[in-house]
Amino acid sequence: MRPLSASTVNGPARLGWLDALRGIAALVVAFDHSSYVFMAEFRRQLLPEFSLSRYGIMVFFLVSGYIIPASLQRHGCVRTFWIVRVFRIYPLWAAVVAVSLLLGLCGVAEIRDLGAQSGGALAVAHLTMLQELLGTPSVLLVLWTLSYEMAFYLLVVALFTVRVQQPAAVAVTLAVLGAVSTTAGVVLQDSALSGVTGTGPLIACGATAMVVAVCCASAASRGLRVFGGVLGGVLALVLVFNGTVPLWEGLMILAVMFLGTAVHRAEHGQSTWWRAAGTAIVVVGCAVWSAYRYGDGDLFTRRGWILAFLLAVLTFGIGLMLRRRRPPRLLTGLGVISYSVYLVHPVLLAVIGGTIARRWQENLALEAAFFAVLLPVCLLTYRYIEAPSHAWGRMLGRRVQPP
C-alpha cells in the first residue's frame, strides 16, 4: 500500500499499534507473492481456503481509512494534505517503477504485459495513480491497490470541502450498494467504461479532471474548493465502475476505508461507539453476503475471500483494543518500512523470475533467504528515499499552511 502517517488530530505522534498492523500486513502480502515462487504447492493448496493477499490488503485499507481523514482534519488545509501525500507516496513509487522498467529493458527482470497502449498513455495513467481504474494494467501488480487509495483520497477531500463529516453513513451506503449489485446480478466486465469510451480518451479525461480537482480543491476560494472537491469525488465514484476488481469488491474496499474513519471518529469522541459498531456490522455483513453471492471462480473462492476479510477485520479490532499497550519493536519497525516492503518485494521477485526462474519450488530455506535480502534493502530505501521525502513534504506543507 502507501505509507500511512500514523498521526492523530491531536498531534503527529506515531501510533505504534497502527505500525504493528502495517508490519503484519506487509509481511503477509510479501509472503503470499514470494510463496508463488518458492512454495508453489503450499500456495496452491492454501489459496482456495484463505487469501493471504486479500487479508493483508484489507488490513492496510482499514488502517488507511482510520488515519488519512484524520490527517486532513489535523492539517485543516487541502493544499497541505495533497503536498504531504505526494511526498509520501510518489518518490519511492517513482524509484521502484523506474528500476523495474530499467531491469526489464536489460533483460534482468520480468515485466508484466502492459497491452497495446502507447507509452504516453501508460505514463499519464500511472502518474495519476488511478491506472487500474482507467483501464490500464499496472507496471507492478501491487500498484492496483494505490488506485483505490487515490480514489479514497479524492472522496475524503470531497467530503471535507463540502463539510460532510458522516463517514459511517458513507461506509454503509457504499457497502449496501455493493451488496445490492451482487444481489441484482450486476456484474460488469473489467474496465467496462473503457470499452465504451476507449482507454485513451478515458485516461485523458480522467487525468485532466483529477488535475483540475486537486488544484481547485487546494485554492483559496471557497467556491473553487467545493467545485474541486466535488469533481474529484464524482471522478472517484465513476471510475470505481471501471475497476479491474468486481464492482462489489471495489465498493467494499471504499466502504472498509470509511469504516476505519468511523472508528477513528468514535475513538476521539466525534461520534459514538454504537454508531461505529453498527457500521462495522453492516459493512461486514454486506461484504460477506456479496462474496457469497459472487460465487467461486478461477482466481476467487468465496470462502477464501470471506475468511481473509473476517480475519482482517478481527486483526484490526484486536489492534484497536490493545492500542494503549506498547507493541513489539520488531512489528513497529516493520510498519515503518512497510511501504518499502510492499513496493520493493515484487521487483526482487521479478529479478528472481528473470534470472533463476522457478528452479527451487517448495524450498522454505529460500523463502527465508528472500526475506533476509528484502528487509535490509527496504531499510535502505526507507532511509534514503522515504524518510528524506517525508521530511521535504512536511516542510513544504508547513510553508503553505494557512496562518
Q: What is the pLDDT of residues 149-160, one digit of tens each?
A: 999 999 999 999
Per-residue pLDDT at 189: 66
Render 196-226 in DSSP notation, one character per residue.
HH-HHHHHHHHHHHHHHHHHHHTSSSHHHHH
Per-residue pLDDT at 357: 57
**Cell matching residue 130:** 488511478
How far does Cα 177 stand from its chain's mean position? 21
Q: How far is CA 390 from CA 5, 15, 326, 383, 401, in A?
A: 10, 17, 24, 10, 16
Per-residue pLDDT at 360: 58
Per-residue pLDDT at 14: 53
Render 110-158 in DSSP notation, one character per residue.
-----TT--HHHHHHHHHHT-GGGTT---SSGGGHHHHHHHHHHHHHHH
* Closest of 26, 20, 5 to residue 375, by C-alpha: 26
Average pLDDT, the chain: 89
Per-residue pLDDT at 48: 81
> Any idea how long the chain is?
403
HSE-CB for 271 with a 13 A CA cutoff: 21
The amino acid sitting at 124 is: V
CA distance 111 to 236: 28
User: Is there a contact between 358 and 40 (Cβ–Cβ < 8 Å)?
Assistant: yes
CA distance 11 to 62: 20
For the chain, give me the number of helices (H) and strands (E)? Answer: 17, 0
- For 8, phi then psi, to 5°, come to -120, 170
Contacts of residue 13, Cβ cutoff 8 Å, sequence gap at least 6: 6, 7
For 396, the 3-state DSSP assignment is helix
Per-residue pLDDT at 305: 95
Grid cell 480543491 is found at: 217
Burial 48-78 (b: 16+ CB within 10 A, else e): eebbbbbbbbbbbbbbbbbbbbbbbbbbebb
Per-residue pLDDT at 10: 36
How far does Cα 282 stand from its chain's mean position? 22
Contacts of residue 117, Cβ cutoff 8 Å, sequence gap at least 6: 136, 199, 200
CA geometry: angle at 6 spanning 35 and 327, to 5°? 65
CA distance 5 to 94: 19
Per-residue pLDDT at 231: 97
CA distance 65 to 61: 6
* Closest of 212, 156, 186, 395 to residue 290, by C-alpha: 186
* pLDDT one digit per residue (tens) for the chain, 403 residues: 444 344 333 333 457 899 999 999 999 999 999 988 888 788 888 888 899 999 999 999 999 999 999 888 888 889 999 999 999 999 999 999 999 989 888 888 777 777 777 788 899 999 999 999 998 888 998 999 999 999 999 999 999 999 988 999 999 999 999 999 998 877 776 777 887 788 889 999 999 999 999 999 999 899 999 999 999 999 999 999 898 888 999 999 999 999 999 999 999 999 999 999 999 999 999 999 999 998 887 778 899 999 999 999 999 999 999 998 899 999 999 999 999 999 999 999 988 876 665 555 667 888 898 999 999 999 999 999 999 999 999 999 888 777 5
